Amino acid sequence: MPPWRLIKSKPSDAFTNMAVDEAILRTVSAGKSPPTLRFYSWAPPAVSVGYFQNSCTDVDVEACRKLGIDVVRRLTGGRAVLHDKELTYSVICPENDPHFPDSILGTYKIISNCLIRGLSFLGLDASLTPFVKKEGKNAPSACFSSPSYYEITVAGNKLVGSAQRRGEGVFLQHGSILMEFDSERLTTVLPGLVRLDRVTSISDYLSVDMTTLISSLVKGFEEGLGISLSDGFLSDEEVALSEKYREEKYSQREWNLNR
């Protein structure tokens, strides 16, 4: 069983963050990199839209431009997310890894339990939501407008939103852990949201810095999966791939808006 790699990335723009996730996905799929847990944040803030989402109708692109907020399309599905004062995690792993079942929801559940275990070390009482599937024209366009799948809530309010992609023998799951929540900014860039009273953030319950939060979550994954995480870095191939994907894909209007 290959060892797991831990990467703590410096804050980066949206196009770099998504390019790095895809670069790791490709090298893990090719058997060139080990299973990887990565933590990162966003500078400047950004809206990421789901792979199949219509960014021009679900996102106020002009408001994003005025506020200096990037817009980027993810490889994963789901609804739009405003990435501002948050910590983002990504797990990239072969689909046949024995720690995970061969299903989206089963993998969600295991990763959520690792996150919940990590949050518990900070004294935060988080739990899994039941599976909720909302479809049709009345479905909200933003990820944090309602809980779904095995995502994480505190006192019934959503704290973590996640999305997953599977294929080519590998899965990528990444998700947002809200450190603070600005409802006014969220509704400005993502109009038509519902039930924002059901969103919460870590700052509503405790004061914690990013370093402490990451350390607690790392412990949660190690204990939850029975693994040891070793600090690592991107390989030369991953650096080259991420630069290529950023330049040719994630920074391009055609990918982000014209789909």
Active-site amino acid positions = 143
Q: How many helices (H) and strands (E) does the chain have?
A: 8, 11
Residue 1's SS3 state is coil
Dist. CA 93–CA 146, nearest whole Å: 27
Q: Which long-range contacts does 59-65 make (Cβ < 8 Å, 24+ apart)?
A: 59/189, 59/190, 60/188, 60/189, 60/190, 60/191, 61/257, 63/188, 63/189, 64/189
Rounded to 10°, the helix 104-120/210-225 angle is 130
Element (H or E) spanning 14, and its range? helix 14-29
For tokens 């693994």, what's the residue?
227
Dist. CA 121–CA 143, nearest whole Å: 26
